[in-house]
Amino acid sequence: MTSVLKRNNVNVLGEGSKVLLFAHGFGCDQNAWNHIQNFFTKDYKLVFIDFVGAGKSDLASYDPQKYASLDGYVNDIIEVCDALELRNAIFIGHSVSCMIGALASIKRPDIFEKLVFISPSPCYISSGDYTGGFDQETIDSLLEVMEEDYISWARSLAPDLMDAQNGEELTSELSTSFCVIDPLIAKQFARVTFLSDNRKDLPLISVESLTIQCSDDMIAPMSVGQYINANTRNNTLTVLEAHGHCPHMSHPAETVHAIHAFLQ
């Protein structure tokens, strides 16, 4: 049986005693944190993971039933923390992993003392007075195109996620990351991501949290960051000048400044 640490390709570095656990978003792996990790290695111990199906995780550990909801990823986070004997660590997540970390903290309040959400969304589909960024028809169409040709879909989505003004190099980096993931796993993870609704879980988060919101993000618009802040106890909302959905890649210094201010 594959060990938990090998399953999620867990890597640890840094010199500090306080632990930061980094969890990547859909289409990425732990390499997405390369742009900011050096800002933290002197003062913290850093733990990086790949969700099963991404990066150098163990593909043989992928179970479609287990990962049919975010709960499978939540349990993996908890198992990694237990394997490393982490308690009162700080979770830093991007995009869909923000809700994965939040759910883990609700299930096991002892493992994280603070949560950092970078470009989070509890629900990507608008309904009633909630504006999530997409309507149901758009999401259905997006998932249909993905089923027909995942690689082309990924390559077309990357420029929108990164925002063209952040440059071709970063867009290419994100697109490449999307295209190295096993398409079957990526398709299921995309469905789980875009169809999840965790709005009801926000009031259950008991630990202090930070929402880092980009000033222009097509995936998680300003209304989403404001909704999280209004419905989550002890949540701080920081709006960056950065554009796009991946400020830890496109605007590392601004993102790090927001995180440091929160942690201190």
Instruction: For residue range 28-63, list pLDDT tens digits in order.
Output: 899 999 999 999 999 999 999 999 999 999 999 999
Q: What is the pLDDT of residues 164-173, one digit of tens each?
A: 566 678 767 7
Least confident of 103-112, 149-158, 209-218, 237-246: 149-158
* CATH number, residue 64: 3.40.50.1820
pLDDT attached to residue 173 = 74
pLDDT for the residue numbered 164: 58
Which residues, at least 6 apart from 239, have a Cβ–Cβ distance to it below 8 Å? 213, 214, 215, 222, 225
| pTM exceeds cut of 0.85 | yes
Catalytic-labelled residue, pool 50, 76, 163, 217: 217
The pLDDT assigned to 99 comes to: 98
pLDDT of residue 220: 94
Q: What percent of the chain has pLDDT over 70?
A: 94
Task: Confirm whether 160 is a catalytic residue.
Answer: no
Which residue type occupies 70? L
Q: Which domain holds residue 52?
A: 4-263
- Catalytic one of 50, 57, 76, 95: 95
Q: How far apart are CA 138 and CA 162, in angstroms?
A: 19
CA atoms within 13 A on the CB side of 234: 11
Please count the structural domains in the chain: 1
What pLDDT, in 10s, does the model give residues 176-217?
666 577 888 988 999 999 999 999 999 999 999 999 999 999
CA distance 30 to 34: 8
pLDDT band at 163 (very low <50, low <70, confident <90, very high): low
Active site residue 95: yes
Distance, in Å, from the CA atom of 94 to the CA atom of 198, rounded to the nearest integer, reads 15
**pLDDT tens, 76-129?**
999 999 999 999 999 999 999 999 999 999 999 999 999 999 999 999 999 999
CA–CA separation, 1 vs 141, rounded Å? Answer: 39
- The single residue of 245, 248, 250, 251 carrying the catalytic annotation is 245
Q: In whole angstroms, what is the distance from residue 225 CA to residue 216 CA?
A: 11
| pLDDT of the residue at 236 | 98
155, 219, 263 from 124: Cα distances, Å: 20, 7, 28
Q: In 15-26, which positions are buried (b, 16+ CB within 10 angstroms) versus exposed (e)? A: eeeebbbbbbbb
66-80, 147-161, 197-211: least confidently modelled range: 147-161
Residue 251 annotated in active site: no
